[in-house]
Amino acid sequence: MTALLALDDVTKTFGYGDAMIHAARGVSFELKAGRALAVVGESGSGKTTCARLVMRDYAPDGGKLVFRGKPMGDRTDLVAYRRAVQMIFQDPFASLNPAHNIRHHLRRPLRLHRPELKGAAIDAEVLELLRLVQLDPERLVDRHPFELSGGQRQRINIARALAVRPEVLVADEPTSMLDVSVRLGVLNLLNAMKQEMRLGLLYITHDIATARYVAEDIAVMYAGQILEWGATASVIDRPAHPYTRLLLSAVPDPQIRFADPAGRLDPDAAAAVRQAAAVPTREVREVGPNHFVRALPG
Amino acid sequence: MTRPLLSVRNLTIDYVGLASDFRAVDDVSFDIAPGEVFGLAGESGCGKSTIAFAISRLHRPPALIRRESRILLDGRDVLDLPAEALRQFRWREVAMVFQSAMNSLNPVLRVEDQFHDVLKTHGERDRSRRRERIAEVLRLVDIDPDRMRDYPHQFSGGMRQRIVIAICMALNPKLVIMDEPTTALDVVVQREILQRIDELRRRFGFSVLFITHDLGLMTQFCDRIGIMLAGRLVEVDNAATIHDAPKHDYTRQLWAAFPSLHAEHGA
C-alpha cells in the first residue's frame, strides 16, 4: 500500500544558538488510506510540531513533506492541499466562532471548497454532515456553539473537517478536553470515518491507551526524535526502547498499587532513561515485522 | 474503623439562582480515617470539587450550604468555625492543592517568599527558622533547597506542582485535599509526584482527599473510593472492590469509558 502522505527525514528547529530547540530531528512517517498513525509523547516531545508540519503551518528546515508522491515545497498548491488535509483541534470551546450558528460553520467550507454545490444543495449537505457525525440535524443546525456540549462541539469540528471530503485528517488531542464518558464516542466516530471514507488519520496524543484504541500504527516521540515505531500492538506489548518502557510503566493501571514496591517507578532511573533518550542517533534496528527502534548510542 | 479524621454528614449544597436553585451536592455522607487516602471520582459537574471547596470553607454565594449539613474534622464542625479559628484551620489542619496548581504560585514572588507568607501567618516569627523549615519541606519533594530564591517561571510544571505540595506540607496538616492535582502533567511526572505523596502520607500520617476523573489512577493511589453522579455519592467501597466488583451501573459505565492499554484497538 503506497503512502498518502509522508514526512521524510524532516527537521525543524526553533530559536538559535544555545537556546535552539530541536522539535523534529529526522522525523519520518507515512499515512495510509484507511489507517491511523498515533504519535505519542510527553509535552515538548515534538508531537504537535509533527501535526503542524503535516498541516504546512511550518515549512521543514530539512527533509521533505510528500503528498501523493509529490514533494510539497512552494506554496502554490496550498489551497488544494488544505482541502485534502484537514485538522481537528484540541479545544472544542475555542475552535468554533461563538458569533455564528452551526449552519454557518458548516456552510463555509462547502462554499469555499465544493463549488459544485449551489443553493439548496449546500443546506442539504449541511444536514447530511450533521447526520454523519451522529447529531440531530434539525435540532442543532440553527444553534450557536455555546448551546452545545464539548462532545457535540467536537463532532461539529469533525463535520467541518469532513465537509470538504479530505483524504487526511490530523487530530491533535481531540478528546483530552472532553468528559470521560463522551471520549470513546468521539474516538469511535473518528475510527468509523477513517474506515468508511478511507482517510489517513494522524492521531496526536499523550494517552497511549486511546492510541491503542484508535491506531493501527504508533510512533513514540521524545526530544524531537521518533524512538520506536510500528504496529501498535507490537510496540505496546513488546516495547524495545527503554523510553517506551518507561512511558508504558507510568500509564495509570488499576492492577498496580502505589503501595506495592514491585510497581514502583524509580525517579532516578526515569531521569537516566530520559537523558539517554534525548541523545540523537540515526541508527535504526528492526525488532520484528513492522516494528522498529532507534538504537541507543554506545 | 478508628475514629474518622473527617466526617461529612448529609452535605447538601445549592447554587442559588434567580428562577431556581441548582443542587450541586445532594445529601452526601462519607468518612476519611487518619492516614487514609480517599478518592472522589466522577465527571465534570458531578459536585466533587464543590465538596472540596466546602471542606476548606471556600464557598461564597451563590453557593449555599444547606443547614442540615455537617463537616466534622477531629470532632469539630468546620462549618461553624468563626473567622479567627478558620484562619488557624486553613493550612494547619486542612491544606489544598488546586487543579492546575502549578499556576497557583505568584509569578512575581520568589518561591521562598510564598512559603514565608504561610509560615509567618501561622506564627513562626523567626526568619532563619522559617528558612530551615522551607529547606526541609523542599527536600521532601525532591527540590534542591538552594533554588528557593528562584521565581516560579524558572521551574518546570512538575516542579512547580511539587513546590505547591511542599507549601501544603509546611504546617503538617492533618488532611490534604487534592483536586485533579496532576491532570495537566505527563504520565511519568504524574506517577513520580503521586508516589512521593503516598510515601509522605505513610511517613507523616496525614489523610488525603484525592479528586480526579481518572478511575485507573485513583485505584492505584487510594484506599477507598466514592463515585459521584449528579451530586450524589452512588457507591463507596475499597479501591480493589471498586475495580474488581463495582456494584453501581454508573461505576461500571465509568470503567468502560477507559480503553485498556492491553486490549485490541476498536477498529
Within 8 A of A208 by CB-CB distance, chain B residues are 261
Q: How confident is the model at residue B125 (pLDDT cuts 50, 70, 90)?
A: confident
CA distances from B217 to A167, A260, A265, A279 (A): 37, 14, 14, 31
| Euclidean distance between CA atoms A112 and B39, whole angstroms | 50
Say if the Cβ atoms of A194 and B157 lie within 8 Å.
no
Pairing verdict, β B76-77 and B94-97: unpaired
Q: Best residue in A90, A184, A257 to probe B by mutation, most B CBs within 10 Å?
A: A257
Q: Say if A218 is an interface residue toward chain B (CB within 8 Å).
A: no
* CA-closest candidate to residue A209, choices A245, A253, A241: A253
| Euclidean distance between CA atoms B56 and B157, whole angstroms | 25
* B84–chain A nearest CA distance, Å: 38
**pLDDT tens-place string over residues A137-192:** 999 999 999 999 888 999 999 999 999 999 999 999 999 888 888 889 999 999 99
User: Taking all residues of chain A, what is their mean pLDDT, rounded to a whole number?
Assistant: 91
**pLDDT tens-place string over residues A197-217:** 999 999 999 999 999 999 999
Q: pTM of the full predicted structure?
A: 0.89
* B257–chain A nearest CA distance, Å: 5
Residue with cell 449544597: B13
Crossing angle of helices A267-277/A242-250, nearest 10°?
Answer: 140
- Predicted local confidence at residue A27, as pLDDT: 95
| Euclidean distance between CA atoms A264 and A262, whole angstroms | 6
User: Taking all residues of chain B, what is their mean pLDDT, rounded to a whole number?
Assistant: 90
| Euclidean distance between CA atoms B105 and A208, whole angstroms | 30
Q: How many residues appear in chain A?
A: 298
Q: Say if A265 is an interface residue toward chain B (CB within 8 Å).
A: yes
- Predicted local confidence at residue A76, as pLDDT: 66
Neighbours of B238 (CB within 10 A): 14
Element holding B117 (H helix, E strand):
helix B111-121
- Predicted local confidence at residue B91, as pLDDT: 85
Contact B258, B216 (CB under 8 A): yes
- Predicted local confidence at residue B174, as pLDDT: 94
| Euclidean distance between CA atoms B237 and B248, whole angstroms | 11
Nearest to A42 among B186, B239, B265 (CB): B186
- Predicted local confidence at residue A108, as pLDDT: 93
- Predicted local confidence at residue B265, as pLDDT: 46
Q: How confident is the model at residue A46 (pLDDT cuts 50, 70, 90)?
A: very high
ipTM of the complex: 0.83
| Euclidean distance between CA atoms B40 and B53, whole angstroms | 13
Q: Say if B178 is an interface residue toward chain A (CB within 8 Å).
A: no
Q: What is the mean predicted confidence (pLDDT) over B194-201?
A: 91
Q: Say if B249 is an interface residue toward chain A (CB within 8 Å).
A: no
- Predicted local confidence at residue B259, as pLDDT: 86
The CA-based angle B46-B47-B50, given to 5 degrees, is 155
Within 8 A of A247 by CB-CB distance, chain B residues are 187-188
Half-sphere exposure of B214 (CA within 13 A, CB side): 23
Q: How confident is the model at residue A263 (pLDDT cuts 50, 70, 90)?
A: confident
Predicted confidence (pLDDT) at residue A15 exceeds the cutoff of 90: no
Nine-digit cell at A181?
464518558
CA distances from A199 to A3, A28, B48 (A): 12, 19, 40
The CA-based angle A98-A99-A103, given to 5 degrees, is 90
- With pLDDT > 70 as the criterion, what percentage of chain B qualifies? 97
Q: Say if A231 is an interface residue toward chain B (CB within 8 Å).
A: no
| Euclidean distance between CA atoms A192 and A186, whole angstroms | 10
Say if the Cβ atoms of B188 and A264 lie within 8 Å.
no
φ/ψ (deg, to 5) at A13: -120, 155
Predicted confidence (pLDDT) at residue A270 exceeds the cutoff of 60: yes
| Euclidean distance between CA atoms A10 and B266, whole angstroms | 31
Half-sphere exposure of A147 (CA within 13 A, CB side): 10
Nine-digit cell at B152?
516560579
Q: How confident is the model at residue A250 (pLDDT cuts 50, 70, 90)?
A: very high
**pLDDT tens-place string over residues B130-169:** 999 999 999 988 899 999 999 998 888 888 988 999 999 8
Contact B8, B22 (CB under 8 A): no
Burial classification of residue A136, based on how many CB atoms lie within 10 Å of its CB (0-12 exposed, 13-18 middle, 19 or more buried) = exposed
Predicted confidence (pLDDT) at residue A293 exceeds the cutoff of 80: yes
* CA-closest candidate to residue A171, choices A92, A250, A107, A285: A92
Predicted confidence (pLDDT) at residue A1 exceeds the cutoff of 80: no
Enumerate residues 6+ apart whose C-beta is below 8 A from A256: A263, B220
Predicted confidence (pLDDT) at residue B179 exceeds the cutoff of 80: yes
Predicted confidence (pLDDT) at residue A64 exceeds the cutoff of 80: yes
- Predicted local confidence at residue B266, as pLDDT: 43
Tell me: cis bond preceding B4? Omega within 30 of 0 counts.
no
| Euclidean distance between CA atoms A57 and A24, whole angstroms | 14
Crossing angle of helices A102-113/A150-162, nearest 10°?
Answer: 20
Among the residues of chain A, which ranges form H helices?
Answer: 47-54, 78-84, 102-113, 120-132, 137-140, 150-162, 180-196, 208-214, 232-237, 242-250, 267-277
| Euclidean distance between CA atoms B215 and A253, whole angstroms | 9
**pLDDT tens-place string over residues A74-125:** 666 888 898 999 999 888 888 999 999 999 999 999 998 888 988 899 999 9
Predicted confidence (pLDDT) at residue A297 exceeds the cutoff of 70: no
* A89–chain B nearest CA distance, Å: 17
Predicted confidence (pLDDT) at residue B264 exceeds the cutoff of 70: no
Q: What is the mean predicted confidence (pLDDT) over A127-136?
A: 93
The CA-based angle A183-B237-B220, given to 5 degrees, is 60
Range with the lowest mean pLDDT among A15-19, A158-162, A273-277, B227-231? Answer: A15-19
* A164–chain B nearest CA distance, Å: 24
